[in-house]
Amino acid sequence: MNEYYTLNDGSKIPKIGFGTYNEEFCDNREVILQAIECGYRFFDTASLYETERSLGNALRESGISRSEVIIETKLWIDEMGAGNVKKAFERSLTRLQTDYVDIYMIHWPRQTGADDEDWKALDIETWNAMEDLVRKGKVRRLGLSNFLPHHLKNILENCSIRPVVDQLELHPGYSQERAVQYCLDNDVIPMAWSPLGRGRENATIGNSILVRLAEKYGRSIQQINIRFLLQKGILPIPKASSYEHMKANLDVFDFELSEDDISMLSCMPQTAWLEEHPDFAIPDRKSNPANV
Ligand SMILES: NC(=O)c1ccc[n+]([C@@H]2O[C@H](COP(=O)([O-])OP(=O)(O)OC[C@H]3O[C@@H](n4cnc5c(N)ncnc54)[C@H](OP(=O)(O)O)[C@@H]3O)[C@@H](O)[C@H]2O)c1
């Protein structure tokens, strides 16, 4: 794939990345190796996912040069705060088996969800510690994840180094138009997690719209989802286990959805939302000690 977005520091990033989260918390090195072979060069992980080690192993085994790939990882809520960031980052670096990270993110804006009154101060403190990692040359650029406009504004008003991306749950049926527009207005690339709605079944009107458009364009529903995001200036990071799915998710640059169809998808009833809200719920994840 040779389609790129330009980040606000002038660097280029592939328009589609590869998501490495797996609900089973198993070693997905083989899957990532296939993704490299398929042509993906931008990989999303997080300390929470326990896939940093698999990603590091796959990249090493592939023989691909470090400068050819973009590695993005995130610190989790229990790694926030000035005293924790450096150690959290070193742990990630060890698991990734590299000496720098391309994009380092705060995973979640509010450490204890709705009870967290002091989230603004903690976000800034964490961000400042991450800025130090950039100054030391260990991190190339910084990003955010699940930051809605009021969270992002706090960072933009108090940072020395601006975030280049903000990762949000985005797909037809949960397109968060205001959050996306706020990112674009501030030269932050919106990135879509669960761009395919994580395959959640929905026998709703929303699903019927997607089925209709898939038939109209002769593409799969997943390709319609990805195309919709790209045409809105969003960077999707689909996760796939099979080579066939990986390839199909990149094969989206030779057709275009009409303006009317984009409008219809933008106005779809809410569909396939994961129900994790940055101001309220903290995702509850189990852990596999073998991967940590
Ligand atoms: N920042 C955050 O808080 C956050 C939260 C969640 C996820 N993420 C990131 O976003 C990435 C993607 O999100 P996600 O993993 O939740 O879900 P997703 O990418 O929306 O969906 C993955 C599902 O779609 C299926 N699929 C993929 N390509 C397909 C195709 N062409 N045709 C049919 N089915 C297809 C996959 O099946 P197969 O596996 O069988 O191919 C899998 O079941 C994650 O891996 C992670 O890196 C970030």
* Residue 286: count of CB within 10 angstroms of its CB: 7
Residue matched to tokens 């019927």: 208
Instruction: Write the DSSP assignment of 77-131 as a string of letters.
Output: GGG-SHHHHHHHHHHHHHHHTSS-EEEEEES-S-TTGGG-TTHHHHHHHHHHHHH
pLDDT in tens, the chain (292 residues): 789 999 999 999 999 999 999 877 778 999 999 999 999 999 999 999 999 999 999 999 999 999 999 999 999 999 999 999 999 999 999 999 999 999 999 999 998 776 777 899 999 999 999 999 999 999 999 999 999 999 999 999 999 999 999 999 999 999 999 999 999 999 999 999 999 998 776 656 668 899 999 999 999 999 999 999 999 999 999 999 999 999 999 999 999 999 999 999 999 888 888 888 999 867 776 555 555 4
> Ligand 1 pocket check: which of 239, 244, 245, 285 to mutate, most ligand atoms within 8 Å of Cβ?
239
Homologous superfamily of 4-266: NADP-dependent oxidoreductase domain (3.20.20.100)
Q: Using CB atoms within 10 A of its CB, is residue 95 exposed (0-12), middle (13-18) or buried (19+)?
A: buried
CA of 137 to the centre of ligand 1 (A): 31
Structure tokens belonging to residue 211: 């089925």
CA distance 44 to 144: 12
Query: Which of 4, 1, 2, 60 is closest to 235 using CA atoms?
Result: 4
Cα-trace Rg, the chain: 18
Instruction: For ligand 1, say whether the CB of 249 is within 6 Å of any of its atoms.
Output: yes
Instruction: For ligand 1, say whether the CB of 144 is within 6 Å of any of its atoms.
Output: no
Q: Where are the domains of the chain?
A: 4-266
Determine the angle formed by the axes of helices 149-158 and 177-185, rounding to 10 degrees. 20
Distance between alpha carbon 218 and the CA centroid of its chain, in Å? 27
Q: What is the pTM of this model?
A: 0.96
Structure tokens belonging to residue 216: 């109209």
